[in-house]
Amino acid sequence: MAYWLVKSDPDTYGLADLERDRRTRWDGVANPVAVKHIRGIAAGDAVLVYHTGAEKAVVGLGRAASAGAPDPKNPKLAVFDLEFVRRVPKPVTLVALKADAAFAAFDLVRLPRLSVMPVPAPLWKKLLALAGDRG
């Protein structure tokens, strides 16, 4: 199993929407690096949901319900299905991550425009600990 982070604008489609819908098609990603990452997602992979905008924080957990695949509307892009798992007990802000040297090389800190990214296993565990999530 791999670990991923997806960014979402809560004013457009946030964790509350995913919680209500239980499952959604994750699409609309055009950045070539993010598209490449989506193509690497496998069904069952764990996903952190991060809110952009004013919040700028990891707010929940999801699971890839399907592998990344070409977008039927535009085969140059990619999509996957995302299921809601749970909210994290304590959101983990970007400010907190930037203040922690362990996250200095993490794409969320280094590449602020990237909307889908892998999360190395040690950082995944640390993020869950910061969020007070014991899995």
Residue-level pLDDT at 112: 87
> Do residues 61 and 88 make contact, with C-beta atoms less than 8 angstroms apart?
yes
- Mean pLDDT value across the chain: 97
> Do residues 98 and 73 make contact, with C-beta atoms less than 8 angstroms apart?
no
Q: Does domain 3-130 have CATH number 1.10.287.610?
A: no
Q: Name the percent of the chain lying above pLDDT 70.
A: 99
Closest by CA to 107, choosing from 124, 90, 85, 88, is 124
Residue whose token pair is 């899995």: 135
Give the C-alpha distances (Å, rounded to integers) separating 108 from 14, 43, 48, 52, 67.
Answer: 18, 23, 12, 11, 22
Ranges of each domain in the chain: 3-130
Q: Residue 98: helix, strand or coil by DSSP?
A: helix
Q: Residue range 23-40: average pLDDT?
A: 97
Q: Residue 116: helix, strand or coil by DSSP?
A: strand
Instruction: Calculate ∠ Cα 37-108-12, nearest 5°.
Output: 80
For 45-101, what is each residue's pLDDT tens digit? 999 999 999 999 999 999 999 999 999 999 999 999 999 999 999 999 999 999 999
